[in-house]
Structure 1
């Protein structure tokens, strides 16, 4: 007898497809406005701004070293799903800019929309046993090995990332970017509750 609470393969496929697509759309909003964000995606965005390289290949390459850590810490299921999510996001981020254009997009509103879209994308991936890789995996590993709180590790990384962003983009855009990053984290903090969402 199957557990009705567990996601099927089709459930996981649509969840990963939704999450990767919304995350890619969030990146389109972000890069259209010249903003940055935190975590591995933010690092890839900064590198793309500084070098002119496309976000998708940079993001995919940055995540490669993290799959082994993901496999060791989270297992093969998580690693495969995360690889698929990262690969799909990387591909869509190359394709979507040619399909979507903004005649007018206020940067402050755009930052909030980015936060909502990206937060919902990450929620979908988390609920289907995937992520967008990167620093979050390292943070959990350091918490396990050294006792460092994962949240503080991620916060420290983002603090350094935003400090570097001041050297790459205008200070005004960095400040607007803080709003987007705040909204992403609020969406996740408020909605990612295992005591409220129990399907595995």
Structure 2
């Protein structure tokens, strides 16, 4: 880790204020939850814990809001061990907000017509941008990344491959519930989300914490 004492004070990363964190997390979770309205209206899935929650919701009839909140609970302990209380608290708040918004927003947004390709593109763009806002304010929307880092630390198996394997399992399981075209559309949405994050989530472009 770099020694901040060697960096001139004006060039050191500064911590977000409480107000900045509140608006950032509200903005990010609102965008992500709106993207989910598009996705669930089309009956599609995505990756990570949100994808797992959607699969469980489709298979059991349980609400996505409750399922998403519950499937993330085991990861918070790992987050406390690896990253710290501040990250876990912000992540818990973000997950709770998305869970709550996923109940509220479908009553506020209705579709007479929604082209599936357009819908997954909008989902990908909104969710990718929303996740960027959440990441930049020191939080996340799921624990798979934490688990991946834990596995890498314990076994040496690369974290990126752990996440890829998790998502592969989600999409393979989806074939039991969705038709082939729905799974392929879901993959398109997940690809757009990951491209948005890949091109824009760089620490050298954004240094506040």
Q: TM-score range by the shorter chain?
A: over 0.9
Q: CA deviation at 1:5?
A: 3.1
Q: Secondary structure at the match of 2:206?
A: coil
Q: Secondary structure at the match of 1:37?
A: coil
* Post-superposition CA distance 1:4-32 (Å, at most 9, x none): 73210110111111111111111111000
Give the one of 9, 15, 24 matched to 1:15. 24
Q: Secondary structure at the match of 1:65?
A: helix
Cα RMSD (Å) of the superposition? Answer: 1.4
Q: CA deviation at 1:109?
A: 1.2
- The reply to whether residue 116 of structure 1 matches residue 125 of structure 2 is yes
Instruction: Return the alpha-carbon distance in structure 1 between the equivalents of residues 141 and 50 of structure 2.
Output: 8
Question: Counterpart in 2 of 1:24?
Answer: 33
CA contact 1:37–1:177 (8 Å) conserved in 2: yes
- The reply to whether residue 161 of structure 1 matches residue 132 of structure 2 is no
- The reply to whether residue 97 of structure 1 matches residue 120 of structure 2 is no
CA contact 2:50–2:142 (8 Å) conserved in 1: no
- Stretches of structure 1 lacking an aligned partner (at least 5 in a row): none
- Stretches of structure 2 lacking an aligned partner (at least 5 in a row): 1-8
User: 1:132-143 maps to which residues of 2 (within 5 A)?
Assistant: 132-143=141-152
- The reply to whether residue 179 of structure 1 matches residue 188 of structure 2 is yes
| TM-score for the superposition, normalised by structure 1 | 0.96
| TM-score for the superposition, normalised by structure 2 | 0.92
Larger Rg belongs to: 2
Runs of 4+ in 1 over 6 A off after TM superposition: 1-4
Instruction: Return the alpha-carbon distance in structure 2 between the equivalents of residues 78 and 27 of structure 1.
Output: 23
